[in-house]
Amino acid sequence: MRRTATRRNRGFTLIEIMVVISVILILLGVALPIYSHALTRKREENLRQNLETLNRLIFQYTLDKQKPPQSLDDLKSEKYLDEIPKDITDREDTWVTEPADAIFSLEQKDTDGIIGVHSGSDKIGSDGKAYSTW
């Protein structure tokens, strides 16, 4: 009698394994969309911060030098930035610059350069607007 009891307790039945796997799959089905949404929100928050920083530094450069920068590389070469941040596309060469057409101070004579920057991505954000319009 003892021998049959130990033989029965040696492992899990197929039903028990299937129940455990089903529970794991249900939990993954709930957790993955939440995780994916959190990643998207973090990337969008990073994009907003990068846009704010770049636009603020372009404005500061224009006030300091009395002329707008010709490109984002000017901000880097003049040590306003250590490196150009990455766009939401995860590349730094997709930023789209806006040409300068305004004067920010009385001493500024040159308006040839850039006045702002926005994303070059054509994807839609979680707010329903294209990243390029942010």
Q: Note the pLDDT tens digit of each residue in 91-120.
A: 777 899 998 877 777 777 777 889 999 998
In this structure, is residue 83 part of a structural domain? yes
In this structure, is residue 6 part of a structural domain? no
Domain count, the chain: 1
User: Which residues are within 8 A (CB) of 103 and not within 5 positions of it... i.e. 6 or more apart?
Assistant: 111
In this structure, is residue 4 part of a structural domain? no
pLDDT, residue 14, reads 93
The dihedrals phi and psi of 18, each to the nearest 5 degrees, come to -65, -35
pTM score of the predicted model: 0.74
Angle at 104 between CA 57 and CA 77, to 5 degrees: 35
Q: Which domain holds residue 28?
A: 14-133
The DSSP bridge partners found for residue 118 are 96
pLDDT, residue 134, reads 86
pLDDT, residue 4, reads 58
The DSSP bridge partners found for residue 96 are 118
In this structure, is residue 3 part of a structural domain? no
pLDDT, residue 11, reads 84
Distance CA 112, CA 9 (A): 82
In this structure, is residue 65 part of a structural domain? yes
What is the number of alpha carbons within 13 Å of residue 70 lying toward its C-beta?
Answer: 4
pLDDT, residue 112, reads 83
In this structure, is residue 9 part of a structural domain? no
Residue numbers of the chain with a pLDDT score lower than 50:
none
Collapsed DSSP state (helix, strand, coil) of residue 6: helix
Q: In the structure encoding, which two tokens stand for residue 133, read together?
A: 């319009």
